[in-house]
Structure 1
Amino acid sequence: MRRLLVSLLFVSIAMTLTSCWNRRELNDLAIAVAIGIDKDGENQYQVSVQVVDPGEVAANNRTMTRTPVTFYQAKGNTIFEAIRKMTTISPRPIYSAHLRMLIIGEQLAKEGVGDALEYMSRYYEHRTDFYIAIARDTTAASTLKILTHLEAIPANQMYSSLLNSQKEWAPTASITLDQLIMDIVSKGKEAIVTGLRLRGDRETGESRANVERIASTAYLQYSGLAVFRQDKLVGWLNEAESRGYSIIHNDVHNTVGVIECPDGGKMTIEVIRSKTTPKAKMVNGEPEMHLGVRTEVSIGEVLCKIDLTKKSSIYELEHIGEETIKGFIEKTIHQVQEKYKVDIFGFGEVVHRAKPAYWKGVEDKWDTVFQSMPVKVDVVLNIRQTGTVNNSFMQEMK
């Protein structure tokens, strides 16, 4: 009797277990790795999709006869409609769960990215770990047609290049869907997105010839940060300003910069650690922002005459480095306050946390307050390493 009851219990439990009722085979799907969204002259969405050709990227495929990805494009009154229209040209339904990149055309970004983000966040297939970029001075569709070296799948190269550029260079930002939406809807912080340029001859870049030579005729390059007011693009930060933004926003993992030597010449320093601490203070009833920047660097290249064995030389270089970093941080803040008039740095969030009662009265007009808010910058730079040699052997030769 006991065995019968146990058996019935197991059968009852088994009946409640779910199965893969909605399973789909990979061979029945067109796996999208990048989506590009533009607006055409008729106010319709032009959606482009970069789809993997599994047979061409297989590990045992030594003789590729076709491109590793294919490209589909359709227009519609909505983004979802355009993607479904692709079934008229694609033999398989578009499957977006493995998306790596979302590229938005610059013209659409100026009109507003809200509708595009609404679809990307709502559709159940989409994960939120893909990166977003703005196609600068070109269309999103054009960027998805360029074949790339090293990575057979161009979307993978765009993804990895953006991630590594943020870690090693700093003037770029790997922005995900959740982060972008949060910056757009929150008060006290406006959004930024990395720009993506198409360099070189576009027509050759779309053919196999682009990857059959050592130097590609066309390539994609991340360039500058797009500044948003709510969901609309209002301008661009250049490379120096983008690096300033990254330092202010505490996004610098590693980067390099050039400073002037005391007696002429230049020196390259590598930032190995950087931390920025923002603090809000009230002065005469108005907010004032204080940024404390603590940076550790190593010397990577010496193109000047200087004795690195002397402590006085190190102290002098540290002072020059501090003034250099402080200069382009202040220039970045001034440019954003004067030209774009939006708080992309999140200073409003700092004020909100520090002075909630004051924030309640200014949150709806924060951008106006931000434009005239004083920002004090204090930089402390320490040289931790001078490299594997002391003084440059070039100076010894001279």
Structure 2
Amino acid sequence: MKPKPILLSWLLLSIVVLSGCWNSKELSHLAIVSAIGMDKLPGGSEYRISFQVINPSEISSGIQGGGGGRTTAVTVFADNGSTLFEVIRKITRKVPRELLFSHVKVLVIGEALARDGINDLFDTFERLHQTRLTTKVVIARNTSAEEILGVITPMEKIPADAIEGKLEFSSNLWSENLEYTIDDIIRALVSKGREPVISGVIVQGEIERGRKKSNVEMSRPDALIMVRGLAMFKDGKMVQWLDGDKARGVIKLLGKIKSSVEELDCGSKKDAVTVELTKSKTRIKTSMHNGKPLLEISIIEEGGLVDTKCALDLARMDELAMLEQRWSKRSAEVVTASIEAAQKQKSDIFGFGEALNRTNKLEWKRVQNDWNTLFAKGEIRVVVDSYIRNSGMRIKSFLQQS
């Protein structure tokens, strides 16, 4: 019996489909990159790009924490080039395996490069199929990205994991930093109504000793990577660092705050009451009046009393109301200071321009080309309603009994 032509065609097609993985790559031929660092070479247009590559034999050994293995958990390779893709190919002269970028967790940008401009950095990340737009982005503060990637970190064998973890928990619990990804930065760069802000990282201690494995073989490491501050950008270039209350004010205005700590005065005692912020909701509204923007901010926040250094009786509503008023006033001052700092740099990092575009597109089209200049002249109105919902395990402090 002769096979039917249709059946024969399907059999021939199945041979093509089941021909195997034509582009497969052996794991033993791949080098997993956990972080990428980008720096600007002085006096030219070339970049210094570094790759934090995982040493598979050290990770697979099952040794936890800092020391004990034969080598460090990562090796940093670096080379120079005009583009990221050029260096990816050029670095093959130094790395005995093909680089794999699908596990990159952190992109570190050197401060010198950030101040020179970051508009041209992210095109390759959008085009390459291996790289992820969910990769976290940080700025190496007062140092280079290559120096940051070279520090051996305690508790986490892979330094990229340590940076990602510190960024996550600092953003969630302290709220002076942001977990911004490559995609977030690209969206801010292409928007005419918002400028990007990026968290900073520093090396606390001696960088030279931080590169050695002995850094994690002692209870007090010689060098630590620490998350600190927010880098403010204008037209794709970094213009200023924001720290402390100003950084926290930015997080509140962006509606990204999840939890934080607020210190309030108690009578004549400064910062004698500690409140844990547990919930915050921000609304911003932008309108034009007499050719100037009116920037209206409404914040509702809640928290609980966690520490006092003075005798408080929260069973008395007047004392509770007094604390809430002080909290509202302090939050309004922090937010106002953050906006004023951005106005000095003529950089709308909060998205007031985007808010105007959402509510009045015709007005936005008229002012969008001069928005940063107009934003710097905008009138600020901040209304904060703060509520202390609980006082922990007791209402009256034991200090009242002394």
TM-score calculated relative to the size of structure 1: 0.94
Name the CA shift for 1:127/1:138 in 2 (closer, same or farther; >3 Å).
same
Cα distance in 2 between the residues matched to 1:77 and 1:231: 19
Q: Paired residue for 1:48?
A: 50
Once residues 60 and 162 of structure 1 are traced to their aligned partners in structure 2, the CA distance between those partners, rounded to angstroms, is: 25
Map residues 199-348 of structure 1 onto 2, 5 A cutoff. Answer: 199-265=204-270, 266-284=272-290, 286-338=292-344, 340-348=345-353
Deviation at 1:290, TM superposition (A): 1.2
One-letter identity of the residue aligned with 1:334: E
Equivalent residue for 1:177?
Answer: 182
Q: Is the 8 A contact 1:55 1:61 kept in 2?
A: no
- Give 1:113-132 correspondences, 5 Å limit: 113-132=118-137
Following superposition, the deviation at residue 73 of structure 1 comes to 0.9
Verify: 1:374 aligned to 2:379, yes or no.
yes
Which residue matches 1:79?
84
Q: Helix, strand or coil: the match of 1:114?
A: coil
Match of 1:64 in 2: 69
Are 1:383 and 2:388 matched, yes or no?
A: yes
The alignment yields a C-alpha RMSD, in angstroms, of 2.0
Asked whether the 8 Å contact 1:308–1:391 carries over to 2, the reply is yes
> Against the structure 1 CA distance between its residues 6 and 167, is the aligned structure 2 distance closer, same or farther, given a 3 Å change threshold?
farther
**Residue 36 of structure 1, CA deviation:** 0.5
**Contact between 1:162 and 1:172, CA under 8 Å: does it hold in 2?**
yes
Structure 2 match to 1:192 = 197
Contact 2:255 2:280 (C-alpha < 8 Å) held by counterparts: yes
Report the AA paired with residue 201 of structure 2. Answer: L
Separation in 1 of the partners of 2:297 and 2:337? 14
Q: Distance in 1 between matches of 2:176 and 2:281?
A: 16
Q: Deviations over 1:160-203 (max 9, x none)?
A: 11111111111101111111011011111011111111110111
The 2-side partners of 1:223 and 1:90 are apart by 32
Structure 2: which amino acid aligns with 1:46?
A: R
Cα 1:42–1:82 change in 2 (3 A) is: farther
Residues 235/147 of structure 1: CA separation in 2 closer, same or farther (3 Å cut): same
- Native 8 Å contact 2:49 2:79 kept in 1: yes
Q: What is the CA distance between 1:258 and its match in structure 2? A: 0.7
In 1, are the aligned partners of 2:168 and 2:179 still within 8 Å (CA)? yes
Specify the code of the residue in structure 2 equivalent to 1:199.
Q
Q: Deviations over 1:68-115 (max 9, x none)?
A: 111101112322222222111111122111101110111111111122
Alignment check: 8 A CA contact 2:286 2:353 kept:
no
CA distance in 1, matches of 2:358, 2:12: 53
In 1, are the aligned partners of 2:310 and 2:399 still within 8 Å (CA)? no
Aligned: 1:20 with 2:26: no
Q: Which secondary structure does the structure 1 equivalent of 2:341 belong to?
A: helix
> How far apart, in 1, do the equivalents of 2:359 and 2:106 lie?
36
Q: Do residues 157 (structure 1) and 162 (structure 2) align?
A: yes
Question: What is the CA–CA distance in structure 2 between the aligned matches of 1:279 and 1:82, rounded to whole Å?
Answer: 45
CA-to-partner distance for each residue in 1:267-307, whole Å, 9 max, x for gaps? 11111100001122343454312111000111111111221
Q: Secondary structure at the match of 1:293?
A: strand
Whole-angstrom CA distance in 1 between matches of 2:321 and 2:13: 73
Whole-Å separation in 2 of the counterparts to 1:242 and 1:41: 30
2:117 maps to which residue? 112
Q: The residue matched to 1:115 in structure 2 has which SS?
A: coil
State the alpha-carbon separation in 2 of the partners of residues 323 and 37 from structure 1.
41
Secondary structure at 1:22 match in 2:
coil
Distance 1:10 1:255 in 2: 64
> Hey, what's the Cα distance between the residues in 2 that align with 1:165 and 1:14?
54
8 A contact 1:263–1:305 mirrored in 2: no
Q: Name structure 2 gaps, 5 residues minimum.
A: none
2:55 alignment partner AA: D
Q: Matched residue of 2:267: which SS? A: coil
Deviations 1:23-53 (A, max 9, x none): 2122111111101111123422111110001
